[in-house]
Structure 1
Amino acid sequence: MRFSSGCNAGWLCLGLVTSLVAAQTAPSPHDQSPLATISAGASAAVVPPPPNYHFPDGQTYVYGIEWHLFNAGIARVSLQAEGPEQHVIATAVSAGVVNMLYKVNDRFEAFFDPHKFCSVRVSKHNEEGSRARQSELHFDYTRGKSVLEEKNLKTGEQKHVENDIPGCVTDVVSGFYYLASLPLQNGNVNAFPINDGGKTTEVTAHVEAREQVKVPAGTFQTVRVKVEPTSGALKGKGMVWAWFTDDASHTPVQMRSKLGWGTLLFRLQRVEKP
């Protein structure tokens, strides 16, 4: 499953692209807000964070990954300020029975502009099954292009790919934090472009409901968001749900992806702080 044609089948592209789990219930009429009405009619765009927004610098989210009730592995996602940019590091490592069936060892790094939330560059090292690839993705906003350099570490084959991008895009790793920066009011609908080196995909996030969720890290009051690609080859082929804490931090405590080959569940085990 990929949220853009350049995204490998790794778990991080499933879980980080956006958010969490639960039933697909529509919000009741009294949950609607003026912001929801405005956002529902907006075109796809990356919205800058509010002036007083605080990024969770120095924090690492640690998730257990489940596939059909099996322990599938561990994912770690961290954020830190690095010069004028925000630096995201995300890793996923398979475990247990799943590791014997399909070994995964992925590392993603992404840099984005904290004032605009526009992605700057992404580095990916993917070891999935028999495949191993190293990718470097740069967003050239002056030319309106994403520039991907990818190398197959098994065969040495290299490729160079350029695709059109709008004036500001996010990526599958930074999108994890972009969603958390939004107001997330019931009924709110936000559409934004994501690029992972292939053709840009429009993704829509629907704020569905508020509910209590229990994960290894604790029990939380959360906001449930459904995320799905609404353009390109992936339209209608997969969904991701995410639960963010219903407070100012919007900590993502759970994620579930529903795909043709099964369901992946990410549950927060702990938050590591400096």
Structure 2
Amino acid sequence: MNKYLLALLLLLSVSRTFSQDAAKTDQVAFQAGEQITYKLKYGFFTAAEAVIRTENSTQKFDGHPALHIVADAKTAGTFDVFYKVRNRYETFIDPKTLLPYYYQEDRHESSYKHTDKVTFDHKEHKISADKGSFPFTGNVFDFLSAYYYARNLDVSHLKIGEKLELRYFLEDGIHSMTITFAGREKVKCALGTFNCLKFNPTIIPGRIFRKNSMLYLWVTDDANRIPIKAHVELVVGSLVMDLSDAKGLKYPLNPIKK
């Protein structure tokens, strides 16, 4: 289990329907106190777990209040024995605009360690990180703030095959991902069966993914807009992300009744 697979766990949670043209809804889909948990499975084995929680922050940015979002990812079972991972990702966002003020990560992956601290200056359109300064235009996010911002986008008029763009900052620059809307499906996870929106984010082939690997992501088609499942093909086998717990939601989960 290397660092790219753990990053994928967070990426699957973040890769929502985001584009510069998509409009944000007036109603925020989450609240302080929310906590969601995912399990990442490789075949029959649980490879990793991620817990993402939202809380009010006592820290202010230029006098403005902030929401503090924390994601902890760790390996599990046999994977924890052979390649122990303990990663933490944090972001502080404006509770109204949902844009990020500050992001930091602390990754411990076997003998590898990495930290990064990122400040977003939306007035000057500049990102300051450990590896330098990066100018930007439009809205750019980190992993976590992208996830929470995108949960509030109006995707009610999406048509199958339409493509959206995600722009996020990671380590050494601003990156973009194309996401295709693939329709609506009923999908089962540990918490029940839900009506979902289905998406197909683009994958870059490499050491982990095959040239024709496919990544599919299912998000609840309700006011919560929580990703409940993802499936990605690897060079050997596949990974499945599954929602295993959800607490403190702003809106009740609405599984399909049998």
Note whether the superposition's TM-score is higher than 0.5.
yes
Counterpart position of 2:181: 207
Aligned-residue Cα RMSD (Å) equals 3.2
Which range moves more in the overlay, 60-69 or 134-143? 134-143
Question: Which structure 1 residue ranges, 5 or more long, are not aligned?
Answer: 3-7, 22-38, 150-159, 231-235
When structure 1 is superposed on structure 2, of 256-265 and 104-113 the one drifting more is 256-265
Contact 2:118 2:129 in 1 (8 A): yes
Question: Which residue does the alignment assign to 2:154?
Answer: 183
* TM-score, scaled relative to structure 1: 0.73
Q: What is the aligned partner in structure 1 of residue 51 from structure 2?
A: 76
Contact 1:240 1:258 in 2 (8 A): yes
The alpha carbon displacement at 1:223 in A equals 1.0
Structure 1 segment 68-147 matched on structure 2, within 5 A: 68-82=43-57, 84-147=65-128
Correspondence 1:60 to 2:44: no
SS of residue in 1 equivalent to 2:151: helix
**Partners of 1:142 and 1:229 in 2: CA distance:** 32
Please say if residues 20 and 242 of structure 1, whose CA atoms lie closer than 8 Å, have aligned partners that are also in contact.
Answer: no
Deviations 1:65-105 (A, max 9, x none): 11233211211111234362232110111111111221111
Question: Match of 2:221?
Answer: 246
Q: 1:166 matched to which residue of 2?
A: 137
Give the match for residue 216 of structure 1: 190
Report the CA distance shift for 1:81/1:226 in structure 2 as closer, same or farther (over 3 A). Answer: farther
Residues 177 and 201 in structure 2, CA contact (< 8 A), matched pair in contact too: yes
State the SS of the aligned residue for 1:117.
coil
Q: 2:98 corresponds to which letter in structure 1?
A: F
Report the Cα distance in structure 2 between the residues aligned to 1:263 and 1:146, rounded to whole angstroms: 35
Q: Deviations over 1:147-180 (max 9, x none)?
A: 222xxxxxxxxxx422232242111122222332
Which amino acid in the other structure matches residue 149 of structure 2?
Y
Aligned residues: 233
TM-aligned CA distance change 1:85 to 1:266, over 3 Å: same
TM-score normalised by length of structure 2: 0.77
Question: Residue type of the partner of 1:85?
Answer: A
The match for 2:252 is none
**Contact 1:19/1:226 (<8 A) preserved:** no
Provide, for residues 33-85 of structure 1, a one-character-per-residue CA deviation record: whole Å limited to 9, x for no partner.
Answer: xxxxxx9xxx9527563223342431111111112332112111112343622
User: In structure 1, what is the Cα distance between the partners aligned to 2:143 and 2:119?
Assistant: 14
1:17 aligns with 2:11: yes
Higher relative contact order (CA 8 A, sep 6+): 1
- Quickly say closer, same or farther: Cα 1:49–1:162, change in 2 above 3 A: same
Give the Cα–Cα distance (whole angstroms) in 2 for the partners of residues 108 and 240 of structure 1. 23
Q: Secondary structure at the match of 2:142?
A: coil
CA distance in 2, matches of 1:140, 1:259: 37
Distance 1:254 1:44, change over 3 A: closer
Counterpart mapping for 1:25-40 below 5 A = none
Shift of 1:240: 4.1
Between stretches 244-253 and 114-123, larger displacement belongs to 114-123
Unaligned runs of 5+ in 2: 205-209, 250-258
Q: 2-side partners of 1:224 and 1:179: how far apart?
A: 14
In the TM superposition, what is the alpha-carbon distance from 1:19 to its structure 2 partner?
A: 5.1
